[in-house]
Chain A
Amino acid sequence: MHTLIVIDRLPYGDWHGREALDMAFSLAAFDRPVTLLFRGAGVNWLRPGQSADQLSQKSVERNLSAATIFGVSALLADKAALRQYRLSSDQLSQSASETDLTPAFYKQFDAVVVL
């Protein structure tokens, strides 16, 4: 059973993304296959050079860098949203595969979770 966890909200403005990431890490900790998708505004999680010290928040970039170490199978990024937010896949803070969000894409996963 492979789960897709989707982050589609901007980083720092709320806690949805961090709590979605916790779900992904928990699945991985129990050896459940899990993939992370950054969709829509969520692709900004992958913008390089984040520095959240002045917000007294932990950089989500640092949280994310642990994803594959913790056993998250893959990081995927919404291809159209990367263009919309002027991000190119070779400059992202974490390596993530550009993905077309077709109905067939979602059907590859047994469960899809977004907060």
Chain B
Amino acid sequence: MTRSPALSYTLVISGAPYTSQAPQSALAFAKALISGGHKLDRVFLYGDGVYLASSLVTPPSDEVNWTQLWSEFLMQTRTPAVACIASALRRGILDSAEQTRYEQPASNIAEPFEMAGLGDWVEATMTSSRILYFLPTD
């Protein structure tokens, strides 16, 4: 079987962990696409998907910490991951720059996630060969 040439992917996650399966389906797909010889350009968290970037996620010890699993994967693969700033601020996910700007008592974005605008997503629609959306279940 001849393999098609390597493609580049952007994965958008708009379902929250523990509310939807989106972060886990996306992680399984991300690992499979890299095993398949493709490139993961970036991960973009949008809407409720930004909850994945909270460093304060603390599930019971017998449940998977999806934020931690995603963080480890992103760092191992050096994949850029962005939380949409408008979605994130509304939902209380802040980096230190936004904490300072809005004079909030804390910041909580998990490494290596960064904040960026929808412009990053627009760029992805122009540059990645495929964009897949991992959506809420309801």
Contacts and interface: CB of A to CB of B under 8 A. Distances in A.
Tell whether any CB of A sits under 8 Å from a CB of B in the complex: yes
Interface of A: 1, 3, 15-16, 19, 22-23, 26-27, 30, 32, 111, 113-115
A27 to B, nearest CB: 6
Contacts of A27: 122, 125
A15 B14 CA distance: 12
| Dominant SS among interface residues on chain A | mixed
Contact of B133 (A15, A19, A113): A113
Given A1-B126, A19-B46, A19-B47, A30 B119 contact: yes
Interface of B: 14, 46-47, 86-87, 90, 117-119, 121-122, 125-126, 131, 133, 135-136
Contacts of B87: 19
A1 B14 contact: no
A21 B106 CA distance: 30
A34 B53 CA distance: 29
Contacts of A16: 47, 136
12 contacts: A3-B125, A16-B47, A19-B14, A19-B87, A23-B118, A23-B121, A26-B121, A30-B119, A111-B125, A113-B133, A115-B14, A115-B136
